[in-house]
């Protein structure tokens, strides 16, 4: 599926289905409140309604998550730096981890493929930290300099033996490397057991206006 098709599907999921599910959740909540106000509440019915409401909320959250995975519309709306900042904030709220985000001299305009690449690297990198690293703190740094843009995702987690990288399922390191290579960049990873992991990405901007 082409990125433009993914973008269209993402918009449909976010703008249509999410809003409709939210309305259903509100209506279920109103019905639950009405049942509570009866003199003799129907306990079993109320429990079922509450369950429906919670399921609708979860489905709505899942649709939003899938939408962001298909194509992060926030990149179109806010730009790369604020999109990464939003992703970090969302994960801070969802998971018990401190994530610091620093940006410096980030160009206002970038070729379409570069913001998407960097955003995906941040998503995958942070997901690895939360799922595998066991870290309580990590940092994301996005910096522009001399017609290049650099991204660093660093954690203080358990790390791993670089020799075993190819045998580690679920890390997505190969896909991250491929994404960066497709935009002419360089991907590297520095890790050792008990010394954390640092992902570095450097991409040339090829004269992109700043």
Please tell me whether residues 105 and 53 are part of one structural domain. no
At 152, is the secondary structure helix, strand, or coil?
strand
User: How far apart are the C-alpha atoms of 88 and 98, rounded to whole Å?
Assistant: 9
Q: Is residue 108 part of a domain?
A: yes
User: How far apart are the C-alpha atoms of 205 and 170, rounded to whole Å?
Assistant: 30
169: confidence class by pLDDT, cuts 50, 70, 90: low
Please tell me whether residues 101 and 195 are part of one structural domain. yes
Q: What is the domain range of residue 163?
A: 96-204
User: How far apart are the C-alpha atoms of 92 and 50, rounded to whole Å?
Assistant: 27
For residues 138 and 99, is the Cβ–Cβ distance under 8 A? yes
pLDDT of residue 209: 41
- Percentage, residues of the chain above pLDDT 70: 76
User: How far apart are the C-alpha atoms of 205 and 147, rounded to whole Å?
Assistant: 5
User: How far apart are the C-alpha atoms of 143 and 85, rounded to whole Å?
Assistant: 14
Q: Which tokens belong to 69?
A: 């995975």
pLDDT of residue 119: 92
70: confidence class by pLDDT, cuts 50, 70, 90: low
Please tell me whether residues 148 and 183 are part of one structural domain. yes
Q: Which tokens belong to 134?
A: 């066991």
At 156, is the secondary structure helix, strand, or coil?
coil
pLDDT, one tens digit per residue, over 89-103 is 888 877 778 899 999
Structure-token match 């900042």, residue found? 85
Q: What total number of domains does the chain contain?
A: 2
pLDDT greater than 90 at residue 204? yes
């Amino acid at each position: 599926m082409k990125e433009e098709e993914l973008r269209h599907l993402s918009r449909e999921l976010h703008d249509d289905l999410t809003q409709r599910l939210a309305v259903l959740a509100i209506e279920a909540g109103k019905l639950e409140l009405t049942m509570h106000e009866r003199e003799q509440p129907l306990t079993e019915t109320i429990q079922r309604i509450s369950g429906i409401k919670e399921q609708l909320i979860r489905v709505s959250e899942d649709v939003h998550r899938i939408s962001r995975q298909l194509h992060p519309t926030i990149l179109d709306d806010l730009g790369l730096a604020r999109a990464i900042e939003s992703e970090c904030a969302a994960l801070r709220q969802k998971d018990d981890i401190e994530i610091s985000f620093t940006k410096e001299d980030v160009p206002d305009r970038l070729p379409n493929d570069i913001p998407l690449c960097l955003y995906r690297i941040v998503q995958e990198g942070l997901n690895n930290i939360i799922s595998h690293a066991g870290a309580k703190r990590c940092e994301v740094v996005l910096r522009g300099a001399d017609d290049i843009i650099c991204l660093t995702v660093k954690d203080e987690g358990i790390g791993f033996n670089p020799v075993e990288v190819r045998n580690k399922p679920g890390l997505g390191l190969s896909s991250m490397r491929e994404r960066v290579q497709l935009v002419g960049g360089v991907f590297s990873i520095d890790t050792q057991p008990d010394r954390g992991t640092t992902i570095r990405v450097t991409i040339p901007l090829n004269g992109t206006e700043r």
